[in-house]
């Protein structure tokens, strides 16, 4: 819920777009959270393949370059993705610092 709110609020505040929808910011937040939790651990807590993380970073990069709209994917809420991912990173860091994993 927090990553969804952060992503959508970030998209609105940074771009001024108010007519958008979707939960991709929330998904980016969840994957970002999992990335931080699994980073540096000896075991895989969520067992997500590394390709998910690679795809997340590459899709974010492609979105900001504008290539996605060139290839017909339309307008993408890139700021929602970025802010959602950053909020997931922050939540992961908070969780990691307060618990022993």
Catalytic member of 4, 51, 81, 97: 81
Would you state the pLDDT for residue 92?
95
Residue 70, Cα to own-chain centre: how many angstroms?
Answer: 22
Residue 95, Cα to own-chain centre: how many angstroms?
Answer: 17
Residues 5-32: tens digit of each pLDDT: 999 899 899 888 777 777 889 999 999 9
Q: Is the pLDDT of residue 59 over 80?
A: yes
Catalytic member of 4, 24, 51, 87: 24
Q: Is 4 a catalytic residue?
A: no
For the chain, report the end-to-end CA distance as a whole number of angstroms. Answer: 23
Asked whether 28 and 87 are in contact (CB, 8 A), the reply is no
The structural domains of the chain, with segments of one domain joined by +, span: 2-98
Distance in angstroms (rounded) separating the CA atoms of residues 40 and 10: 29
Q: Is 81 a catalytic residue?
A: yes
Q: What percent of the chain has pLDDT over 70?
A: 99
């Amino acid at each position: 819920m927090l990553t969804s709110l952060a992503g959508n609020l970030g998209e609105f505040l940074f771009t001024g777009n108010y007519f958008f929808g979707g939960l991709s910011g929330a998904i980016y937040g969840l994957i970002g959270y999992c990335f931080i939790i699994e980073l540096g651990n000896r075991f895989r807590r969520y067992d997500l393949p590394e390709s998910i993380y690679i795809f997340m970073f590459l899709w974010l990069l492609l979105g900001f370059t504008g290539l996605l709209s060139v290839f017909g994917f339309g307008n993408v809420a890139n700021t929602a993705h970025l802010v959602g991912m950053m909020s997931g990173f922050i939540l992961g860091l908070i969780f990691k610092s307060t618990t022993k994993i």
